[in-house]
Structure 1
């Protein structure tokens, strides 16, 4: 297996952007596992499959043809077969639907196998909610990126306003709070920091400051290993 750095955390903490920039800085590939669950939810919705139907969702997972294509700037694009689904799955509907399918045992097991296979021959920065606790428990470097609910709500609100959505920050905050509850209380792979994860609170920090802290930690860890 290649080297793996895990970044877990709740919605709106900045995982995707931080993971992409960190990967660029150290020459690793970036694996957005949350996007993979969104892809499962998209296919399930299109096929009319119930989001708690483990057997049907497992069949979807087994036939998924997913690939990421790196962009010079911005989030790596995700393709389902030949269809670019990057924009389709980046909205609050799939925020919630991905949480539903990710709580299904058959889906998590299928995704765990796929994610581990993808990391066999490349070095990856992987982001998600159970990367350090379940999928890559032996990763040497693990981060848990969090932020206050208000800070995360403001970030998501601003993102959606830029996209032209008519939303109120109170509604965005309520959606995040609901997603947090779903992720933290599910019986299967709940959202929590790995015991050996470095916890970084990004409230009040810029993306660059978060990445700098991670780089500093990795440099100190490498030095201590010598």
Structure 2
């Protein structure tokens, strides 16, 4: 079976990470959550008082990028790799609503994007990788053999995110989540550096009315068909 790179892009909370993890496990590929990398940098900025609702010291964040270490370590119990920020597991911390509120602002910074894109491209040197994010098919892996673009209505995405966060005990409201998603959509789509756009050769999947199982079966079939076509 031919080794390929699978690039998955799309709007926030469209289930990119879920499908990417499933595909990587089924194919026995490496899974890389590029969004987790931006979230980890955002968490660092928050921890060091470089960003808040009232200020953002971009230059200071840029000046310390070289001392921010990001690594993925495979968790056998979970079946996927978790992200470590300066050797500390921050997989749970980066998923909270506070990080979500600031991550698009951090991801706008060209210096941050350059640093992380370089690392992401190294992960795909030998193919056999499934990576999800905002610019994987357009910037990180423009020559990926298969590109998927995930989409769903903002309200559907907000409902899924709301259920995910409340299930783990976070105190959030639906309106708060919806507002955050709509704001991130705007920032991600209009930023000057690597905006969120569908690659010309990407296959768009609207999963608004799909279950997780239905989504996996549809996309896995697309992946296998692509691999078979390249033999």
For normalisation by structure 1, the TM-score amounts to 0.91
CA distance in structure 1 between the aligned counterparts of 2:56 and 2:113, rounded to whole angstroms:
12
Distance 1:70 1:122, change over 3 A: farther
> Are the equivalent residues in 2 in contact too, given 1:153–1:173 (CA < 8 A)?
yes
SS state of the match for residue 156, structure 1? helix
Distance 1:116 1:175, change over 3 A: same
Say whether residues 1:62 and 2:70 are aligned partners: no
SS state of the match for residue 171, structure 1? helix
Q: How does 1:123-142 map to 2 (within 5 A)?
A: 123-142=128-147
1:146 is displaced (CA, Å) by 1.1
User: Which residue of 1 is the match for residue 89 of structure 2?
Assistant: 84
Structure 2: which 5+ runs fail to align? none
Distance 1:121 1:57, change over 3 A: farther
Deviation sequence 1:83-106 (CA, Å, 0-9, x none): 111111111111122111110111
For normalisation by structure 2, the TM-score amounts to 0.90
Q: How does 1:130-169 map to 2 (within 5 A)?
A: 130-169=135-174
User: Which residue of 2 is the match for residue 106 of structure 1?
Assistant: 111
Distance 1:122 1:52, change over 3 A: farther
1:78 is displaced (CA, Å) by 1.2
Deviation sequence 1:56-92 (CA, Å, 0-9, x none): 3334332222211223436532112331111111111
SS state of the match for residue 109, structure 1? helix
1:219 is displaced (CA, Å) by 2.2
CA distance in structure 2 between the aligned counterparts of 1:52 and 1:6, rounded to whole angstroms:
31
User: Which residue of 2 is the match for residue 196 of structure 1?
Assistant: 201
CA distance in structure 1 between the aligned counterparts of 2:91 and 2:198, rounded to whole angstroms:
27
User: Which residue of 2 is the match for residue 29 of structure 1?
Assistant: 30
Structure 1: which 5+ runs fail to align? none
> Are the equivalent residues in 2 in contact too, given 1:143–1:197 (CA < 8 A)?
yes
Distance 1:223 1:74, change over 3 A: closer
> Are the equivalent residues in 1 in contact too, given 2:123–2:129 (CA < 8 A)?
no
> Are the equivalent residues in 2 in contact too, given 1:6–1:132 (CA < 8 A)?
yes
SS state of the match for residue 180, structure 1? helix
Give the aligned CA root-mean-square deviation in angstroms. 1.9
